[in-house]
């Protein structure tokens, strides 16, 4: 069951990144709520997986906070930094939209979300998608300290507190009276999704059942979200617009959490067979690269539009087919040649030293610690 759960979580990554590609390549008007929903799904997944990893390490008899924390950050850097900084280097060389170089320091420091919030516009657009990666890195700075050092019995309460603080941030807009990118880009705007995933991991670590209201109520919340998105009236004033935005941010939280909960346990039947499809899993494995490279590939495709028979300069099937395919190819090459070998180096940085763990648990020295080595193999 353990392997099945991670396979199906890969499938969820594939779904999330496809929603982003649809929003940026195919959706009318150049945007779609599905793109934002895909990013929110990524956040719930990240919060769950990272917290699960850290709790599994903490539950080991030979756990030590310092080595575990050091291993966490080294493993994060091995997985995330190389392709990320390769993209920044390419953008510096090519400068596809003639405005990227001036903000590269912000992106290099994982402050992309603050850059766009402060400037109140999506320029440079070629790096605009990095805002979500910046929020995740900001989350990684503090959250491992909380998971590894806070009293375990308090972790669920801490997660709920973070969710409530994030939800209270939704009142930021009415107070300042100026809707803009900051309402979505400042860290509190996404901590509810990340902490929701973390809360799921905390529940699972205690073998606790999900709350009854969550198990029974999430379909109604999902239905309300889609009805409001597709059929809700156009807001006539700022108060109505704020209320609509507030609901569209909050309503999907429980459904997204339940989707991750189901797939982390292993979904059976036809849905499970669908999630187990090899192409979906393969796309999930390279989803980080797909997300990271897709805007860069789009910028290059637009530069070479005269040599491309289909229209990639505008939203539509041509862009989705050509740029989407090229993005998957680039991400696949990056995974096989670049990311996968570096990812393999994480075996040298276990969360719990194998020798000490074996001595405490009775396993032969050098024996595997499956739960601590497997669960973030693709993170």
Percent of the chain at pLDDT above 70? Answer: 92
Long-range Cβ contacts of 269-278 (<8 Å, 24+ apart): 272/8, 274/11, 275/7, 275/8, 275/11, 275/12, 276/4, 276/7, 276/8, 276/11, 277/11
Query: Do residues 52 and 204 touch, judged by C-beta distance below 8 A?
Result: yes
**Higher pLDDT residue, 265 or 39?**
39
Query: Do residues 358 and 61 touch, judged by C-beta distance below 8 A?
Result: no
To which H or E segment does residue 157 belong?
helix 155-168
Q: What global pTM score does this model have?
A: 0.91
Residue 354 pLDDT exceeds 70: no
Query: Do residues 198 and 48 touch, judged by C-beta distance below 8 A?
Result: yes
Query: Residue 108 contacts by C-beta under 8 Å, 6 or more apart in sequence?
Result: 85, 88
Residue 31 pLDDT exceeds 80: no
Query: Residue 187 contacts by C-beta under 8 Å, 6 or more apart in sequence?
Result: 113, 135, 138, 139
**Higher pLDDT residue, 195 or 171?**
195
Query: Residue 62 contacts by C-beta under 8 Å, 6 or more apart in sequence?
Result: 352, 353, 356, 357, 359, 360, 361
Closest to 129 in 3D by CA, of 2, 227, 245, 39: 39
For residue 79, give Cα distances in angstroms to 6, 11, 99, 193, 339. 17, 19, 28, 22, 7
Alpha carbon dihedral 183, 189, 193, 194, in 10-degree steps, equals 140
Q: Residue 227's pLDDT is what?
A: 95
What is the tens place of the pLDDT at every residue in 107-135? 999 999 999 999 999 999 999 999 999 99
Backbone phi and psi for residue 270, each to the nearest 5 degrees, phi listed first: -65, -30
Residue 167 pLDDT exceeds 70: yes
Instruction: List the end-to-end C-alpha distance of the chain, in Å, as a whole number.
Output: 19
**Higher pLDDT residue, 338 or 291?**
291
Q: Residue 363's pLDDT is what?
A: 38
DSSP state letters, 13-54: HHHHHHHHHIIIIISGGG--HHHHHHHHHHHHHHHHHHHHHH
Mean pLDDT across 202-227? 94
Query: Do residues 296 and 91 touch, judged by C-beta distance below 8 A?
Result: yes
**Higher pLDDT residue, 208 or 82?**
82
Q: Residue 236's pLDDT is what?
A: 86
- What's the gap between Cα 203 and its chain centre? 20
Query: Residue 374 contacts by C-beta under 8 Å, 6 or more apart in sequence?
Result: 2, 3, 6
Q: Residue 189's pLDDT is what?
A: 94
- Least confident segment among 106-110, 193-197, 206-210, 325-329: 206-210
To the nearest whole number, what is the mean pLDDT of the chain? 89
CA 333-347-191 angle, to 5 degrees, is 75
């Amino acid at each position: 069951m353990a392997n099945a759960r991670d396979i199906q979580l890969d499938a969820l990554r594939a779904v999330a990144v496809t929603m982003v590609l649809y929003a940026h390549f195919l959706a009318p008007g150049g945007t779609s709520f599905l793109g934002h929903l895909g990013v929110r799904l990524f956040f719930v997944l990240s919060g769950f997986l990272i917290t699960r990893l850290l709790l599994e390490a903490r539950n080991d008899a030979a756990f030590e906070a310092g080595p575990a924390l050091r291993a966490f950050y080294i493993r994060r850097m091995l997985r995330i930094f190389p392709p990320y900084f390769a993209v920044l280097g390419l953008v510096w060389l090519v400068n596809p939209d003639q405005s990227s170089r001036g903000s590269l320091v912000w992106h290099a420091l994982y402050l992309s979300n603050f850059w766009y919030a402060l400037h109140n516009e999506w320029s440079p657009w070629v790096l605009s998608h990095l805002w979500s990666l910046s929020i995740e890195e900001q989350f990684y700075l503090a959250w491992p300290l909380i998971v590894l050092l806070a009293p375990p019995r308090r972790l669920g309460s801490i997660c709920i507190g973070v969710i409530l603080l994030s939800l209270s941030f939704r009142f930021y807009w009415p107070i300042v009276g100026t809707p803009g990118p900051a309402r979505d880009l400042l860290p509190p705007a996404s901590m509810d999704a990340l902490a929701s995933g973390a809360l799921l991991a905390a529940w699972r670590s205690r073998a606790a059942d999900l709350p009854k209201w969550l198990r029974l109520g999430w379909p109604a919340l999902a239905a309300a979200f889609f009805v409001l998105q597709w059929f809700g009236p156009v807001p006539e004033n700022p108060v109505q617009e704020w209320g609509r935005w507030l609901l569209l941010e909050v309503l999907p939280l429980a459904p997204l959490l339940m989707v991750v909960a189901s797939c982390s346990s292993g979904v059976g039947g036809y849905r499970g067979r669908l999630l187990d499809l090899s192409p979906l899993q393969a796309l999930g494995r390279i989803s980080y690269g797909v997300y990271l490279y897709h805007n860069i590939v789009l910028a290059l495709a637009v530069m070479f539009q005269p040599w491309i028979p289909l229209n990639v300069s505008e939203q539509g099937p041509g862009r989705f087919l050509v740029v989407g395919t090229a993005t998957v190819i680039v991400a696949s090459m990056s995974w096989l040649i670049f990311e996968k070998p570096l990812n393999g180096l994480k075996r040298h940085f276990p969360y719990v030293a194998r020798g000490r763990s074996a001595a405490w648990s009775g396993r032969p020295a050098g024996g595997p610690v499956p739960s601590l080595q497997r669960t973030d193999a693709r993170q």
